[in-house]
Amino acid sequence: MESVATATRSKTVTNEIFLIFLLASIQFTNIMDFMIMFPLQDYFLKQFHINTAMFSLILSSYSFAAAIAALVGANFIDRFNRKSAAIFLYSGFLIGTALCAVAHTYSFLLIARVIAGIFGGMMSGIVLSIIGDVFPIEKRGKAMGGVMGAFSAASVLGVPSGIRIAIHFGWNYTFGFIVAIGIPILAFAILYLPSLPSKMEKTPIADFSQLGKVLSDPAHLRALVFFMAVILGGFTVVTSIAVYMERNMGFSKHDVSRIYEIGGICTFASSWLVGFLSDKFGKHRIFMFLVLLAILPILSITHLPQDLPVPLALVVTTFFMILVSGRVIPAMALMTSSIRPEIRGSFMSVNSSMQSVATGLGALLAGAILVQLPNGTFERFDIVGYLAVGFNLLALYLSRKVKVVS
């Protein structure tokens, strides 16, 4: 009997690891599709003859489209099997990314990003809902850390590969690359994602009561504002790092690729560690610790002297990526644990909407603050850094208002 129990536990662990890997793979392509826009910014500025504000519109169009789709989806997402919803949304995301691959004008690319945003933005909410449904709270931090490792993998493997493809073949091929690796992931999702039927009673699709349940609870609103502050605390800076390093610091495109490679390798390891520490010492405590530490690289990266050697600049960018991405893991675990299971999907869909609003707002704020000089360099990046610090301190305050219920 003991050997049977041991084998059962081993199989359960294996299945859990595979599920985390599959969900992380979905997030990998989703995150890469979004992140690759940052290092490709210089290509867009030159090819389409646009300024940073117009580029910010491309970023924010994706985010705001995702926000609207997620908000609408919150009304019915819990009425569907999680697996069916994930497959549908991931298929739409790949179609939108394929349109980016064939875009040849600014307007076409803008429309393609909106389509990708509609499906990609809701995708994150479904992934997090699956984690919340499958993993008990004592394992949720590790599961979140594993899926958040997709950010690191996108940094280490996806973004650098996308940059190299853009250098040798053109930026359109970078999006084609994402579609090429996304198709087999979709096949695995169809075959192996667990079926998670709706826990809700059957109600009309047009019923907006589920959205009302999410937005009428003050605890939910606190959690939503908290996570928006977390996103703004990093995203206001993240949007401009690549182009700032190229124009102001003299980085080559290969140097920019190294930012994501080195930072991604380190955050891949740190994501699992942060997830473990969050489970062991508490989500609130680890979040506070990481936020306070993250202020240092935020201020450093936005005040770099132009004569700083590339290796030292890479040290700063690496610590920035480790700590800024690390904050999100305990924040995610806190948030998913503050929602009752029967409305978790709807809440996470609303949260995806608010997260997208935060990313779009962050892009617009950074684009509005940064000023491009006649020589092509940018100024006022320091102001962007101060703004990010303010959002982090707000998130730290709000984290104490988020209460765990499940």
CATH of the domain at 355: 1.20.1250.20
Is the model's pLDDT at 76 over the cut of 80?
Answer: no
Give the C-alpha separation, 101 to 121, whole Å.
19
Give the C-alpha separation, 317 to 314, whole Å.
5
Segment 148-158 shows an average pLDDT of 69
Would residue 348 count as lying in a domain? yes
Evaluate whether 141 touches 275 at the Cβ level (below 8 Å): yes
Enumerate the β-bridge partners of residue 357: none
Evaluate whether 122 touches 66 at the Cβ level (below 8 Å): yes
Would residue 235 count as lying in a domain? yes
Would residue 254 count as lying in a domain? yes
| pLDDT value of residue 98 | 96
Is the model's pLDDT at 5 over the cut of 60?
Answer: no
Would residue 404 count as lying in a domain? no
| pLDDT value of residue 345 | 67
Type of residue at 115: I
Would residue 405 count as lying in a domain? no
Query: Which of 77-86, 181-190, 206-215, 297-306 shows the lowest per-residue confidence on average (mean pLDDT)?
Result: 206-215
Q: Rounded to a whole number, what is the distance in angstroms from the first to the last CA of the chain? A: 32
Query: Which of 20-29, 43-52, 74-83 shows the lowest per-residue confidence on average (mean pLDDT)?
Result: 74-83
Q: Which tops the pLDDT comparison, 317 or 154?
A: 317
The total of structural domains in the chain comes to 1
pLDDT category, 353, cuts 50, 70, 90? confident
Q: What residue numbers bound the domain in which 90 lies?
A: 7-399
Is the model's pLDDT at 65 over the cut of 50?
Answer: yes
Give the C-alpha separation, 237 to 242, whole Å.
10
Would residue 101 count as lying in a domain? yes
Give this prediction's pTM: 0.73
Evaluate whether 46 touches 248 at the Cβ level (below 8 Å): no
Would residue 308 count as lying in a domain? yes
Closest CA to 72 of 356, 282, 269: 356
**Residue listed under structure tokens 């929602």:** 339
SS3 87: helix
Is the model's pLDDT at 90 over the cut of 90?
Answer: yes
Query: Which of 104-108, 137-141, 232-236 shows the lowest per-residue confidence on average (mean pLDDT)?
Result: 137-141
